[in-house]
């Protein structure tokens, strides 16, 4: 997976295969970061908290590149076709808003707040054009997740807001 990510970021992936590659990278990175976050919040002491903050700083720097656009779009597309599900312990009052917060957290973590806002607005524009039901509350729910990824798992963030 590291070689695929390297080829993607260096522009070695043919344009026709970039979306599939980005989705694969994002899925792998999401799983890896969720694992790191779960470990970091379960572990006692400051080591994992430090690791988590360092990873957050690295991703913040990486998100300033043009590839943050590709990652943000890939995350949005991936979760559109593979909607996240809450764990059994979390019973969201509004599943749609829970999902928006979860995806906003993922996009915010990997691509930054501005990209999250742009994608949230574009998603609602697409909904208004017939893809779904456009709601301003969806944009607000998406933006609630932006800062969570650096301090808690996206699942915990979405549950805190909508469970």
Q: Mean pLDDT throughout 146-150? A: 79
CA dist., res. 108 & res. 112, Å (int): 4
CA dist., res. 1 & res. 21, Å (int): 10
Domains of the chain, residue spans: 2-162
CA dist., res. 13 & res. 153, Å (int): 30
Are the CB atoms for 59 and 71 separated by under 8 Å?
A: no
Q: Is the pLDDT of residue 18 over 90?
A: no
- The string of pLDDT tens digits covering residues 34-76 is 554 444 444 444 555 555 655 665 555 555 566 677 778 888 8
Lowest mean pLDDT among 31-35, 72-76, 115-119, 120-124: 31-35
Angle between helices 113-126 and 95-111 (to 10 degrees): 140
Are the CB atoms for 102 and 91 separated by under 8 Å?
A: no
Q: For residues 27 and 34, which has the higher predicted lDDT (pLDDT)?
A: 27
Q: Retrieve residue 84's tokens.
A: 């996240």
Q: Report yes or no on whether pTM surpasses 0.85.
A: no
- The string of pLDDT tens digits covering residues 77-87 is 888 888 888 88
Q: For residues 116 and 52, which has the higher predicted lDDT (pLDDT)?
A: 116
Residue spans of alpha helices (H) in 16-135 = 18-42, 47-62, 67-81, 95-111, 113-126
Q: Retrieve residue 146's tokens.
A: 């932006």
CA dist., res. 124 & res. 126, Å (int): 5
What does the pLDDT read at residue 41? 46
Name 13's Cβ contacts closer than 8 Å, sequence gap at least 6: 4, 7, 21
């Amino acid at each position: 997976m590291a070689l695929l990510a390297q080829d993607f970021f260096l522009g070695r992936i043919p344009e026709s295969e970039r979306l599939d590659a980005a989705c694969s990278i994002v899925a792998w990175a999401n799983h890896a970061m969720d694992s790191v976050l779960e470990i970091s919040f379960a572990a006692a002491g400051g080591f994992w908290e430090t690791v988590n903050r360092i990873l957050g700083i690295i991703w913040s720097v990486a998100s300033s590149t043009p590839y943050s656009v590709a990652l943000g779009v890939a995350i949005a597309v991936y979760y559109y076709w593979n909607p996240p599900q809450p764990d059994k312990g979390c019973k969201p009052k509004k599943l749609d808003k829970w999902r928006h917060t979860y995806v906003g957290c993922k996009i915010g973590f990997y691509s930054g707040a501005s990209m999250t806002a742009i994608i949230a607005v574009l998603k609602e524009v697409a909904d208004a054009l017939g893809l779904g039901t456009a709601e301003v509350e969806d944009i607000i729910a998406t933006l609630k997740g932006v800062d969570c990824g650096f301090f808690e798992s996206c699942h915990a963030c979405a549950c805190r807001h909508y469970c």
